[in-house]
Amino acid sequence: MKRREFIALLGGAAAFTPFAARAQSDRVRLIGVLLGASEHDLEVQARLAAFRQGLEKLGWTEGRNIRIEVRWAGGADQLRTDAVELVRLKPDLLFAASGSPLAALHRETKTIPIVFAQAPDPVGGGFVTSLARPGGNVTGFSPYEYVIAGKWLELLKQIAPSVTRASVMHDPVNPASPGYIRAIEAVAASLGVQVASAPVSNRADVDRAVDNLARQANSGIIVAPGPAASAQRERIIAQAAVRRLPAVYPFRYFATDGGLASYGVDNKELFRRAAGYVDRIFKGEKPSDLPVQQSDKYELVINLKTAKALGIDVPMSLLARTDEVIE
């Protein structure tokens, strides 16, 4: 090759390299999102909006450099179907809202990066090797450890000291449900409470569980997190009110919707933070190297209007440490 041709070739390569890098960075990334809820659920809509806002703040704009495919799955069968469909799209990344969607996606792929927003026990669920070093294709944010479930029972006893029986309403397909129940059972004896499990998947399950509980004196309800419990929250809250049963819930929106009390994390904040991991993975980091982060901020919310309707006088000592009182 002649010297002049060689120099021209080098010049062409130099000119091409920045363009190629620019084209790679500007390509549209596909994100597959799996939500374990109905598309009409306003709370989950707000969480998804927070995720999108987090991405936008980091420079990822729909229609410019990302495309988001969302699947709303209100039941276990739909979760499996939607997970298969999203994986077949071969997205650059998958986003799982919580434990049930995460389990469905992880079952379908061990290679596509998965970021989750709120899975309580990713190690126990087999999704990551450890919180510090996930080691696979999954990482994200964990709202809390199972021990918080014991706090829900303690809160129920503080609000309604006469309670001696508690029914734990939980989603039977949520992989985290057994952990919540075990944590509640671990403290039940010391609080003088008998605990029963009440799986709820639909409206009929809720009615049956409440009917059974209402036949026994001094009863209360604990609602564990899960797609089914969230989807049925209006029915649970309404039935608890009609049967005059004190109930404790895992998230603020249960209390704002009329539930007696809640103790948990800010879901929308976890979704915003999850966008940061999406950004880091798109910029070259691996899920296996990004530690699972746990929330360290909890909020106690008490609905005094509901307490009054139930004839409950909430102790001032409890109100003094409440983050939000609904009157």
Do 40 and 187 fall into the same domain?
no
Do 35 and 57 fall into the same domain?
yes
Do 257 and 176 fall into the same domain?
yes
Do 282 and 223 fall into the same domain?
no
Whether residue 163 is contained in a domain is answered as yes
Whether residue 7 is contained in a domain is answered as no
Do 110 and 213 fall into the same domain?
no
d(CA 117, CA 310): 35
**The pLDDT value given to residue 3:** 41
- 161 vs 74, higher pLDDT: 161
Q: What is the mean pLDDT of the chain?
A: 90
Do 198 and 213 fall into the same domain?
yes
pLDDT at residue 156 is higher than 80? yes
On whether the CB atoms of residues 214 and 236 are closer than 8 A, the answer is: no
Helical segments of the chain, H only: 3-26, 42-57, 76-88, 99-108, 148-159, 177-191, 203-214, 227-231, 233-242, 252-256, 267-282, 304-309, 316-319
Q: Parallel, antiparallel, or unpaired: how do β-strands 299-303 and 261-264 relate? A: antiparallel
DSSP classification of residue 30: E
**The pLDDT value given to residue 237:** 97
Whether residue 156 is contained in a domain is answered as yes
CATH no. for residue 86? 3.40.50.2300
Confidence of residue 145 (pLDDT cuts 50, 70, 90): confident
Whether residue 180 is contained in a domain is answered as yes
Whether residue 2 is contained in a domain is answered as no
**The pLDDT value given to residue 291:** 97
Whether residue 315 is contained in a domain is answered as yes
* Tens digits of residue pLDDT in 204-244: 999 999 999 999 999 999 999 988 888 899 999 999 999 99
Q: What is the pTM of this model?
A: 0.81
Domain count across the chain: 2
CB neighbourhood size of 230 (10 A): 24
Give the structural domain span for 75. Answer: 25-143+267-294
Do 289 and 236 fall into the same domain?
no
Do 251 and 161 fall into the same domain?
yes
Residues in a beta bridge with 62: 66
**The pLDDT value given to residue 9:** 42
Taking alpha carbons only, the member of 267, 190, 184 closest to residue 220 is: 184
Do 258 and 190 fall into the same domain?
yes
* Tens digits of residue pLDDT in 261-272: 999 999 999 999
Tell me what the mean pLDDT of segment 316-321 comes to. 94
pLDDT at residue 21 is higher than 70? no
* Tens digits of residue pLDDT in 23-74: 345 689 999 999 988 899 899 999 999 999 999 999 999 999 999 999 998 7
Do 192 and 288 fall into the same domain?
no
Whether residue 314 is contained in a domain is answered as yes
Do 57 and 160 fall into the same domain?
no
Do 247 and 185 fall into the same domain?
yes
